[in-house]
Structure 1
Amino acid sequence: MSVATRTQVIMPQVPNREDLDATWKYLEMGVAKIMADLQDGIDMQTYMGVYTAVHNFCTSQKAVSNAMQGTAIGGAHRGAHLLGEDLYQNLITYLTAYLKNLVQLSKTHSDEALLSFYIREWDRYTTAAKYINHLFRYLNRHWVKREMDEGKKNIFDVYTLHLVQWRQTLFTEVNEKVMDAVLKMVEKQRNGETIEHAQIKSIVDSFVSLGLDESDPTKSTLDVYRFHFERPFLEATKLFYQSESKQFVAENSIVEYMKKAEIRLDEEEERVKMYLHPDIIVPLKKTCNAALISDHSAILRDEFQVLLDNDRYDDMERMYKLLARIPDGLDPLRAKFEAHVRKAGLGAVQKVAVDADKLEPKVYIDALLEIHTQYQALVKKAFQDEPEFTRSLDNACREFVNRNPVCKSGTNKSPELLAKYADAVLRKGTNGAEESDLENILNQIMTVFKYIEDKDVFQKFYSRMLARRLIHTTSSSDDAETSMISKLKEQCGYEYTNKLQRMFQDMQISKDLNGGYKEFEDKILDSGSARGVDATYSILGTGFWPLNAPNTDFTPPAEIAKAYERFQTFYGQKHSGRKLTWLWQFCKGEMKANYCKNQKTPYTFQVSTYQMAILLLFNENDKNSYDDIVKATQLLPDVLDPALGIFVKAKILTMSPEAGKPESGKMFSLNYDFKSKKLRINLNIAVKSEQKQEVEDTHKTIEEDRKLLMQSAIVRIMKARKKMKHTQLVSECINQIRTRFVPKIPDIKKCIDILLEKEYLERLEDDELGYLA
């Protein structure tokens, strides 16, 4: 009887339970009917007949007595055991014969026809196995269970037995031919043909179902699937893509190849979703990545510089996504990107750095920001804000911000120019930003600030400029000033901005103090004293403001002297014991010019206190000699000459002889014919020489502060450690200070020598230093 053709089997009556041979023949006929004609269904009589026959076969009393005569205890169980084993072995014999017949029939099929045959017979076989398993429940429940509980090997429930026999008898013979057919279909699909992928899905499910753990039949494994399906599938995939990619690269551009590789990788992921097992996804990706990306990584990386030079964002994003799939695929790209950004930054600075001394802060900072903005956008779009690419961008920006043509002599120029740019933005009267854009500009300033290594230089210049803005009330917005300090505090900590915040507090205290002084002054005026000048005063804490005492003697005019003496009396009553040092160089005021001919509305001159003292001399005399002015004001030439020079240039005063600079022997006269289109004229202008001197003084202060900072860091480290190697101390000192500036090793060594001389430290053996309490 051939199992491949439909046969009509008529089931006889259930045989006598005593006739064991007849009973098995009856069961075999029922099993064959299920195997061959399951699609026609099975009638209830046959179903019940087979079920009953299995029960009878396993519980035949005659068989028990014949097999176990003379056994008093346990005979019935042992007899049932023997009969159960007979039935189990007979079923194996039947299934083996059935499957061997299928093996012979499979040889008449190949390729897709073989797949159709395999799937059809698998579906028929496994469906029949479920029915037979149900009919043999008594065998499963008693004999099989007892054998398995006793630890017997190679004993399975009836359904699992069907799968085991399929694997041992048919699968071992046909799996290679089946897999070859599967791989041919997959290759057709990769070449653009349409296939019946449901067939492959059925094959995959079949291979997975055969993964039985024979040591524990209750468990399943993927061993069969992995060895017989995944392994050849991955090998075929590797060979296919190696061959295709090699040919494609030879005939097309790298950009076109990347597009092709992207499509192929997406197709493979879709293939997993359509008909492959999820277990294959990781090794399949690894295989495809190796063949499509790793094998061509060198030419991909060579192309990266071309894409960078031409701003090909989309293609760089494509390359990033491809190389991100392989181990260490992106490292060379990051290195090239960092070098490219550094070069671009240096080039941008080179364009604007014609004369570093005359360089406008805004032009310089805009050049730095332009490069950062450009490549930050690239990192965001093409490299998906990947932290390592962001780090490469930061490294490159830090390099060209601190070491560029403008910073030839060191790294101090960038923080100085950034502080000046911040001052221009935050000051009134400059072409600063609108309030709506101000916060955005402050964020840009902080972007550059993040890269600056010498943050102490920025702090020193910024604090001096902030002091001027506060003293002269030229801040464009208190909110903007506060926001900037908050940003600095967030990045550098409380200590960095402590003095800046205290400066604001002093200005608020001064406002309150001026209110009290007005009341005090009003009482004096009631008693008949003249007010003289209408003045306000700022009381600044010595330790918090970066301001120095005047560098010249000065005798204030009587009008000013009376006012400041009155305030000094008021302040002394309020705070006894405190000493006020008047910072005349920062004082300023306004004067009405009532002397000009043909001018109905008097001009208002905005002047420094020094300038005010000079002009007030002309209330007494229309002409004053240089020497008279020096005698009256006590000002040094460094201060007096620029002030007189401004008056002469503005034609408020005339000088004779006209040629040359203000100096001894010159005569200065009040110009009654002075004219100006403006009614308010600002004469309180900083001279370039003064500005240059202030910058030099600031740098000197920075150097002194650095020495003290390094010494305090060394003492702090040694106090904690007691003993330390010289090299370790230098290294630890650098680590502690580098957030403020990057100290030079020779400078640290000099500071160590100073502390040795001062006996804070002592030299020990083996190049070790000790702390002296």
Structure 2
Amino acid sequence: MPPPPAKSGLPDSRDLNATWHFLEQGVDHIMTRLSEGMSYKKYMDLYTVSYNYCTSSRMNSGGVNETIGTGGGGGARSGANLMGADLYKHLQQYFIGHLKQVREEASDLTDEPLLRYYTREWDRYTTGASYVNRLFTYLNRHWVKREKDEGRKNVYIVYILALVSWKEYFYSLLQSGGSNKLTSAVLKLIEKQRNGETIETDLVKKVIDSFVALGLDEADTNRQNLEVYKSAFESPFIAATETYYKAESEQFLAGNSVTEYMKKAEGRLQDEENRVDLYLHASTRKSLIQKCEEVLVRNHAEIMQEEFQRLLDQEQEPDLHRMFLLLSRIPSGLDPLRERFEAHVKKAGLDSVERSVGSTTTTAAPATASNGAAAADAKDKEKKEVAVEPKAYVDSLLVVHRKNNELVAKAFRGDQGFVASLDRACREYVNRNAACPSANKSPELVARFADGLLRKSNKASEEADVEQALSDTMTVFKYIEDKDVFMKFYSKMLSNRLIRDTSASEDAESSMIGKLKDACGFEYTSKLQRMFQDMQLNRDLNVAFKEKMAQTHDSGDLNVDFSILVLGTAQWPLSPPNTKLNMPAELVKSKERFEQYYLNKHSGRKLTWLWQHSRNELRTLYTPQKYFFVVSTYQACVLLQFNSSGSDALSYSDLETGTGLNADTLKPVLALLVKQRVLELKDGDTYELNLGFKSKKIRVPLNVPVKAEQKAESAEVMKHVDEDRKLLIQATIVRIMKSRKTMKHQQLIAETIDQLKARFQPRVPDVKKAIDAMIDREYIEREEGSRDSYRYLA
């Protein structure tokens, strides 16, 4: 709404001199004495006079022509435009005159007094300019806008005109002649703060805010730029920061430890972050922090990296964390740390395994005093065999992993580079250590550790404890290179647990299989799951068989409690027996009855009896105390020979003839029975029942595996592993060639190894042999004219 008509006492709008004299008094009051206050009436009178002057030419049809001076753009103009130009010019001249007086009072000031004066005047000037800007609202909206729309240069709204005048007639003169008095004063105040002195941060903030406000875009005054701020402050500030911290860091390191320096650097970086928030423009953050990181961290990175090993050895987690945070700020700052960490973990793992392993030596033939040379040869040939207890071995691996995994999580914030270094180090010490001369041994020990956890004899009865132990097993399993070896041993041991009913819990078994499946996929555990399916089928089979026998035979005829496990050949890692066996009469009937029942039910199937995995319970009738012997079928056949012969003593040849067992099987069976004092060896080859046998147990387990059997089992497993690997390598080569059709020799080897490394680490010679085998079998052929390229044959 336009203001009301002019009141009496106000100047005539057609009289420029009277109008400006009235307005000038009001403008000067606002710019210099605003703190004294101004009545609302006075302010509205000023507004009315400004409005009336700018519109007076439109209210009078006549007009006069004048030449417009500075600010009007030059040329002859008329009407309202003429009046606006003169008013604009007078305002501009007022600002110039006012700022000359301000400049004179600042001419002798420097440093902090200059800042106090500058900020006080800036506050007063900008506050007054904003009120004056509102007084001349009509001038801004119409005359200034029209001038700008017509492309006139150096024409601004009143507030921007005030800022432009400040920049040209006060600020620029303070900074002129290379003195940069204002910038210098700000930098000195900031340096005082860095030195620990208390300063008035408002002084710095207001000066810096003025630098930002003076960054006016000439093309668009509604948009600011940071040219003044960057040239007047940021550039010299960054340079001063570099100089300050370069001197301070070198001096501090000369008299303090690296760990103390890291605390200092960490504090300084935080100080600069806070400084940005406190009084700097946000755009300075990046360049300031980068410069501080360069001076405080990168320039001294090598010294900190050298200190890393000592901090690791002394387990100084807070200092390691501090070093990580500092060096993570610079490119490649963490790479040397990751390399040292990997070497540290590897060494710690190898040392841990070595401490946990005890060694024994096999005894050589004793040498006589006259045969010194032979004794020396025997000593040289004496072989050391490392005896490893699976639990101690796995615990020694886990203690290093847990410790360093926790360090990575806390000190290094789970950084992926350190995680990768930890994984590489663990892979090394898990597969190649004092307990494992070859990579094949570690998978076996881990499988035996899992076997111990899942047996009924495991002391960890709590379900949560077993679950945690299985998770620990999987931690080690992750680093095993030859996962196929682990699976061979694990499936062998699982089959023994299931056959002998020594598994502690089906839930625990299922949990372990689930973990293996998650780690390696469904195919890896498919046979294990089918083994459990067979066990469920066998429960139903035994119930049905016993019901059938009860229907077809008298109870007196069924004097043997008989149960059977029918196991699928494809999924169970079991081999047929390597010896003939003459079944005792006591067992023949049960065997024949089941064969007839099963083959009638499943025509076309073949049963192979695995006597080496069978168990029997015999009740003694010859001892004063009645015992139940838990024996293998081979042991049962030996002991039942004494029943059929009617004698308490039998020769080795009698037992060999009666049982049909070969010497490799019979001799260990007899040796074990003698060792357990069930039999007594007389005259070198006669075995006699120990009629005075005594034991603290009523149910006496005699079927205890011997170390020789374990060694033979390990050798047999590795033999199967080698065979499976050959087939797997060949199948992988065919699969790759089928999809690629043609391929170079080195590419085929590389891709084959890459696809198989999740299961085991193939050797290049083995891959080459497999390629030759596939050529011989006409799956692939060499391309004509090239000996290092292959082509797939459909």
Tell me the residue number matched to 1:662: none
Q: Does 1:501 align with 2:557?
A: no
C-alpha distance in 2 between matches for 1:421 and 1:386: 31
Answer whether contact 1:153 1:215 (CA < 8 A) is retained: no
Check if 1:371 corresponds to 2:400.
Answer: yes
**Residue 231 in 1 paired to residue 253 in 2?**
no
Residue 55 of structure 2 corresponds to residue 51 of structure 1:
no
Q: Secondary structure at the match of 2:688?
A: strand
Report if aligned partners of 1:119, 1:199 keep a CA contact under 8 Å in 2.
Answer: yes
**Which ranges of structure 2 fall in alignment gaps of 5 or more residues?**
1-7, 68-74, 360-384
The reply on whether 1:696 has 2:715 as its aligned counterpart is yes
> Which piece of structure 1 moves more, 59-68 or 480-489?
59-68
Query: CA-to-partner distance for each residue in 1:581-608, whole Å, 9 max, x for gaps?
Result: 1111000011111101x32xx0111100
Distance 1:495 1:223 in 2: 66
Unaligned runs of 5+ in 1: 1-11, 70-74, 659-665
Work out the CA distance in 1 between the residues paired with 2:36 and 2:460.
Answer: 92
How far apart are the structure 1 equivalents of 2:427 and 2:45? 89
Match of 1:4 in 2: none
> In the TM superposition, what is the alpha-carbon distance from 1:210 to its structure 2 partner?
1.8
Q: RMSD in angstroms over aligned alpha carbons?
A: 2.1
Note if contact 1:424-1:432 (Cα within 8 Å) is conserved in structure 2.
no
1:670 aligns with 2:694: no
- Quote the residue 1:217 is aligned against: 221
1:460-518 deviation line (CA, Å, top 9, x unaligned): 00000000000001011111111110000000000000001110110011011111111
- Asked if 1:610 is matched to 2:639, the reply is no
What SS does structure 1 have at the residue aligned with 2:423?
A: helix
Query: After the TM superposition, which residues 374-413 of structure 1 pair with which residues of structure 2 at under 5 Å, given as runs?
Result: 374-408=403-437, 410-413=438-441
Alignment of 1:704-715 (within 5 A): 704-715=723-734
Alpha-carbon distance in structure 1 between the residues aligned to 2:246 and 2:61: 67
Are residues 1:360 and 2:364 paired? no
The answer on 1:547 being equivalent to 2:574 is: yes
Aligned twin of 1:304: 308
Say which of 609, 612, 619 aligns to 1:585. 612
Partner of 2:163 in structure 1? 163
Between stretches 146-155 and 480-489, larger displacement belongs to 146-155
Query: Could you list the per-position Cα deviations for residues 495-547 of structure 1 after superposition, in whole angstroms to 9, with x for gaps in the alignment?
Result: 00000111011001101111111101111224x66113101111111100000
Correspondence for 1:687: 706
2:647 matched to 1:634?
no
Structure 2 SS opposite 1:256: helix
Instruction: Name the CA distance, whole Å, in 1 between partners of 2:435 and 2:687.
Output: 43
1:737 alignment partner, one of 731, 753, 756: 756
Q: Distance in 2 between matches of 1:170 and 1:76?
A: 32
| Counterpart amino acid of residue 166 in structure 1 | W
Q: Where does 1:81-160 land on structure 2 (aligned, <5 Å)?
A: 81-160=81-160
Secondary structure of the corresponding residue to residue 278 of structure 1: coil
1:277 to 262, 276, 281: 281
Residue equivalent to 1:72: none
**Paired AA for residue 762 in structure 2:** P
Distance 1:504 1:287 in 2: 65
SS at match of 1:258: helix
**Deviation of the 1:613 alpha carbon:** 0.8
Q: Secondary structure at the match of 2:89?
A: helix
What is aligned with 1:9? none
Decide whether the 8 Å contact of 1:96 with 1:169 is kept in 2. Answer: yes
Which residue in 2 is equivalent to 1:423?
451
Whether the 8 Å CA contact 2:778–2:793 is kept in 1: the answer is: yes
Write the mapping of 1:341-360 to structure 2, written as runs, cut at 5 A.
341-355=345-359, 357-360=386-389
Is residue 65 from structure 1 mapped to residue 92 from structure 2 by the alignment? no
How far 1:385 sits from its partner (Å)? 1.5
Residue in structure 1 matching 2:481, options 437, 453, 471 = 453
SS at match of 1:624: strand
Instruction: State the distance in 1 between where 2:524 and 2:401 align.
Output: 25
Give yes or no for contact 1:18–1:63 (8 Å, CA) kept in 2. Answer: no
Q: Pick closer, same or farther for the CA change 1:456–1:433 going to 2, 3 Å.
A: farther
| SS of alignment partner, residue 478 of structure 2 | helix
SS where residue 669 of structure 1 aligns? strand
Local SS of the residue matching 1:539? coil
Moved more, 338-347 or 528-537: 528-537
Quote the Cα distance in structure 2 between the aligned partners of 1:524 and 1:657: 49
Question: Distance between the aligned counterparts of 1:30 and 1:762, measured in 2?
Answer: 103
> Could you list the per-position Cα deviations for residues 426-445 of structure 1 after superposition, in whole angstroms to 9, with x for gaps in the alignment?
11224456433111111111
Name the SS of the counterpart of 1:655 in structure 2: strand
Give the letter for the 1:633 counterpart.
T
Which one of 551, 561, 584 corresponds to residue 534 of structure 1?
561
Q: Structure 1 CA distance, aligned partners of 2:545 and 2:249? A: 87
What SS class does the counterpart of residue 677 from structure 1 fall into?
coil
2:777 aligns to what?
Answer: 758
After superposition, the Cα gap between the structure-2 partners of 1:44 and 1:757, relative to the gap in structure 1 and judged at 3 Å, is: closer
Give, in whole Å, the separation in 2 of the partners of 1:613 and 1:283: 88
SS in structure 1 at match of 2:392:
helix
Contact 1:647–1:683 at 8 Å: present in 2 too? yes
Which residue of 2 is the match for residue 441 of structure 1? 469
| 1:64/1:76 contact within 8 Å kept | no
Counterpart residue type for residue 579 of structure 1: K
1:308 maps to a residue whose letter is L
- What is the one-letter code of the residue matched to 1:374? K
CA–CA distance in 2 between the matches of 1:399 and 1:654? 50
What's the TM-score, normalizing by structure 2? 0.91
Q: 1:78 to 1:65 in 2, by over 3 A?
A: closer
